[in-house]
């Protein structure tokens, strides 16, 4: 996690650094800092957010032509000013470092450097990088070479940017396991953890690759790769023109990114399905040129993911079994990577991730390959991410940048993609007739409009939110394919409103959670008019009979009447396979409005970050 930005230009770079940090704040926001060269290295750090850093910078009139900056999500060491980046080392000529990632062997390096007389002022793993570079600079006077030599000693994942007091005319940056992009500008050069932070300065972007180390000056750059040579072999990397629009990363008329992203879902899903919406039939090529070959060999599916993406996988399991007749296992990536599962070469491994950067998902996928799984597919929202690069097949959810920490449009676009995958596999394995294929395409064509319709329940949800905001706990119930949707609804509520929420498969209620039911426990139920509705209604009766307050999201044709202690919001008539996607919408709205009533930080909930690039 953490966000990095650096700039070296012909003008004062402080505004670029601050604007970049604001764009990167989704990656971590428990402290922020920057350093610029201005008659020496001038550093400003705060435990506050980027807006606090901006105030300090104005007070201190900080300016400089080169600088690096950081917004932190604490891993080693509590959020405090002394643990905030940049970290320094060296006496005669200071070194400043910002870092995203984790240095796994930091303890060994720290003790070694302590023996050599280096004094540590923070609890971070990052500080060892600064001292290591300073140490190597004692033998090797060129900073670029000293950085390369230091990197050879680091284990773990990192993206770093380094400056030296005596040579303010350059910034050295490196990437290994965490994203880092160079922005090539007319009046300067830039580096950042993602494109959105660079757009203010340039659209010409270079995606650094694993092992790349680069030197930036105000009028040029050079890149070497250190994977096979400690001092690096020169490499050329393509410059891409980013097509990301400013609108995509700006709030526009919305109060929060989460609100914007909830309401963008009709267009996000339409973009994701664009290639299908105008087609007469579905082609496996949508998943990559090798897809037909790989899908024809696929007999089982293994899905690896975390958080909301894991919930998308759980929904897909129901679809894959029912529509494609394919058995599917869905695993929490952080658990899978430490088990001893049995590999099967005919199982297609699918990594689902909004960011494509989640450390556990990446590691689980690698582990699956090591175990002997042959083929992999990424479903991901970030085209240049590590996940996309490490799989045989890929499908991009074209949701556009998702900035709110609580995932919304990434989830529904993942679901749309997984439904498409399901019907593709079903078709290839002769489980779907040509007629049914047409029906699914027609349903997918209708999905953006159906999502628009689902968003119209907002005024009713707002009323419910007022009573929810007073509660400390909530239960979410669903059955079948809507059980993972209940899990996602509970996750949304706890993430942003801090109300303890748990999801249960409604049939499990009587095996324990029913003991929790009283008038203080709101129970949210997802009640679509599917084949399990009758069963669910009995479960709801069990709650009602015990004085529980029920909040039911039903279909127009679910035939559940309001009564004392039983509130109902109705969506449109039952939407078949699309139903879990549509039933997600009111749950997102509920979490959002409860959070508004409670006054919590919707887009940046406490203790969380968007892209979890550490274990």
Residues forming contacts to ligand G6P in the complex (CB under 6 A) are 306-309, 353-355, 358, 361, 405-407, 608, 610-612
Is residue 610 flagged as an active site residue?
yes
Query: What minimum distance in Å lies between the beta carbon of 305 and ligand G6P?
Result: 6
Nearest to 125, CA basis, from 81, 153, 87: 87
Tokens 């696929």 correspond to what residue? 298
CA dist., res. 139 & res. 134, Å (int): 9
| Cis check: omega of the bond before 524, within 30 degrees of 0 | no
Q: Which two tokens stand for residue 138?
A: 């004692």
Tokens 């679509």 correspond to what residue? 528
- Report whether 34 contacts 86 (CB < 8 A): yes
The answer for residues whose C-beta is within 8 angstroms of residue 255's C-beta and 6 or more apart is none
Is residue 226 flagged as an active site residue?
no
Length reported for the chain? 615
Tokens 């720290």 correspond to what residue? 110
Nearest to 584, CA basis, from 445, 491, 506: 491
Query: What minimum distance in Å lies between the beta carbon of 13 and ligand G6P?
Result: 30
DSSP state of 522: E
| Nearer to ligand G6P (CB atom), residue 26 or residue 504 | 26
Q: In the complex, which residue's CB is closest to ligand G6P?
A: 307
| Nearer to ligand G6P (CB atom), residue 27 or residue 87 | 27
Query: What minimum distance in Å lies between the beta carbon of 194 and ligand G6P?
Result: 12
Query: What minimum distance in Å lies between the beta carbon of 354 and ligand G6P?
Result: 4
| Nearer to ligand G6P (CB atom), residue 307 or residue 401 | 307
Q: Which two tokens stand for residue 8?
A: 């070296």
Interior/surface letters 29-54, b for 16+ CB within 10 angstroms, e for the rest: bbbbbbbbbbeebbbbbbbbbbeebb
Tokens 């045989």 correspond to what residue? 392
Query: What minimum distance in Å lies between the beta carbon of 308 and ligand G6P?
Result: 3
Based on the number of CB atoms within 10 Å of its own CB, is 434 exposed (0-12), middle (13-18) or buried (19 or more)? exposed
Neighbours of 460 (CB within 10 A): 16
DSSP state of 455: H
Query: What minimum distance in Å lies between the beta carbon of 383 and ligand G6P?
Result: 14
Query: What minimum distance in Å lies between the beta carbon of 494 and ligand G6P?
Result: 12
Query: What minimum distance in Å lies between the beta carbon of 548 and ligand G6P?
Result: 29
Q: Alpha carbon 545 to chain centroid distance?
A: 41
Query: What minimum distance in Å lies between the beta carbon of 400 and ligand G6P?
Result: 14
CA dist., res. 482 & res. 485, Å (int): 5
| Nearer to ligand G6P (CB atom), residue 73 or residue 295 | 73
CA dist., res. 193 & res. 355, Å (int): 12
Nearest to 555, CA basis, from 567, 537, 572: 572
Instruction: List the 188-192 sheet strands across, edge first.
Output: 41-46, 31-37, 66-72, 3-9, 188-192, 181-184, 204-207, 240-241
Q: Which residue of the set 2, 226, 328, 380 is catalytic?
A: 2
The residues that bridge with 158 in the sheet, in sequence order, are 101, 177
| Nearer to ligand G6P (CB atom), residue 310 or residue 464 | 310
| Nearer to ligand G6P (CB atom), residue 150 or residue 196 | 196
Give Rg (Cα) of the chain: 26
| Nearer to ligand G6P (CB atom), residue 337 or residue 567 | 337
CA dist., res. 184 & res. 37, Å (int): 20
CA dist., res. 5 & res. 349, Å (int): 34
| Nearer to ligand G6P (CB atom), residue 42 or residue 194 | 194
Q: Which two tokens stand for residue 315?
A: 């929904």
Tokens 């694993």 correspond to what residue? 210
| Nearer to ligand G6P (CB atom), residue 178 or residue 569 | 178
CA dist., res. 112 & res. 114, Å (int): 5
| Nearer to ligand G6P (CB atom), residue 287 or residue 411 | 411
Strands 66-72 and 240-241: unpaired
Query: What minimum distance in Å lies between the beta carbon of 234 and ligand G6P?
Result: 33
Q: List residues with catalytic annotation.
A: 2, 610
């Amino acid at each position: 996690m953490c966000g990095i930005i650096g700039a070296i230009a012909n003008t004062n770079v402080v505004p670029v650094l601050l604007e970049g940090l604001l764009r990167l704040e989704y990656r971590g926001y428990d402290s922020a800092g920057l350093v610029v060269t201005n008659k020496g290295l001038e550093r400003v750090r705060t435990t506050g957010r980027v807006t606090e850093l901006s105030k300090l910078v104005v007070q201190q009139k900080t300016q400089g032509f080169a600088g690096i900056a950081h917004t932190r999500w604490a891993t080693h060491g509590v959020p405090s000013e002394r643990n905030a980046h940049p970290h320094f080392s060296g006496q005669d000529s200071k070194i400043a470092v910002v870092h995203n990632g984790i240095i796994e062997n930091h303890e060994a390096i720290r003790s070694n450097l302590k023996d050599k007389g280096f004094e540590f002022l923070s609890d971070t793993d990052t500080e060892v990088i600064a001292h290591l570079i300073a140490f190597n600079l004692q033998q090797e006077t060129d900073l670029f070479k000293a950085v390369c030599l230091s990197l050879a000693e680091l284990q773990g994942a990192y993206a770093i940017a380094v400056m030296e007091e005596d040579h303010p005319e350059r910034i050295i940056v490196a990437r290994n396991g965490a994203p880092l992009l160079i922005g090539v500008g007319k009046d300067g050069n830039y580096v950042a953890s993602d494109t959105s932070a660079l757009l203010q300065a340039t659209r010409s972007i270079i995606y650094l690759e694993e092992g790349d180390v680069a030197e930036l000056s105000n009028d040029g750059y050079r890149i070497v790769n250190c994977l096979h040579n400690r001092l690096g072999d020169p490499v050329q990397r393509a410059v891409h023109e980013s097509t990301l629009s400013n609108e995509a990363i700006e709030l526009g008329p919305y109060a929060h990114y989460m609100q914007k992203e909830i309401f963008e879902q009709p267009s996000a899903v339409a973009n994701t399905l664009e290639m299908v919406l105008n087609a007469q039939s579905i082609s496996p090529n949508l998943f990559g040129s090798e897809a037909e070959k790989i899908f024809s060999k696929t007999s089982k599916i293994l899905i690896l993911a975390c958080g909301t993406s894991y919930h998308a996988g759980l929904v897909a399991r129901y679809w894959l079994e029912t529509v494609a007749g394919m058995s599917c296992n869905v695993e929490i990536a952080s658990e899978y990577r430490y088990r001893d599962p049995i590999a099967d070469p005919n199982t297609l491994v699918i990594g689902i991730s909004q960011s494509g950067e989640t450390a556990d998902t990446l590691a689980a996928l690698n582990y699956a390959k090591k175990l002997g799984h042959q083929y992999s597919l990424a479903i991901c929202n970030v085209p240049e991410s590590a996940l996309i690069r490490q799989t045989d097949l890929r499908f991009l959810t074209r949701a556009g940048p998702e900035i709110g920490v609580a995932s919304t449009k990434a989830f529904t676009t993942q679901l749309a993609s997984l439904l498409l995958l399901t019907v593709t596999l079903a078709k290839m394995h002769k489980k779907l007739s040509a007629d049914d294929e047409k029906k699914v395409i027609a349903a997918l064509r209708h999905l953006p409009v159906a999502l628009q319709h689902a968003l119209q329940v907002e005024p009713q949800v707002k009323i419910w939110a007022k009573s929810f905001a007073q509660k400390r706990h909530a239960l979410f119930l669903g059955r079948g394919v809507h059980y993972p949707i209940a899990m996602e609804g509970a996750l949304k509520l706890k993430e942003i409103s801090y109300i303890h929420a748990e999801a249960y498969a409604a049939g499990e209620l009587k095996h324990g959670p029913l003991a929790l039911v009283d008038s203080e426990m709101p129970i949210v139920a997802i009640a679509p008019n599917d084949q399990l509705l009758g069963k669910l209604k009995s479960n709801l009766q069990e709650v009602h009979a015990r004085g529980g307050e029920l909040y039911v999201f039903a279909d127009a044709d679910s035939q559940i009447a309001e009564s004392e202690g039983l509130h109902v919001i109705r969506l449109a008539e039952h939407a078949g396979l699309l139903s879990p996607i549509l039933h997600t919408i009111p749950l997102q709205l509920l979490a959002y409005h409860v959070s508004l009533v409670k006054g919590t930080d919707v887009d940046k909930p406490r203790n969380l970050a968007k892209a979890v690039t550490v274990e």
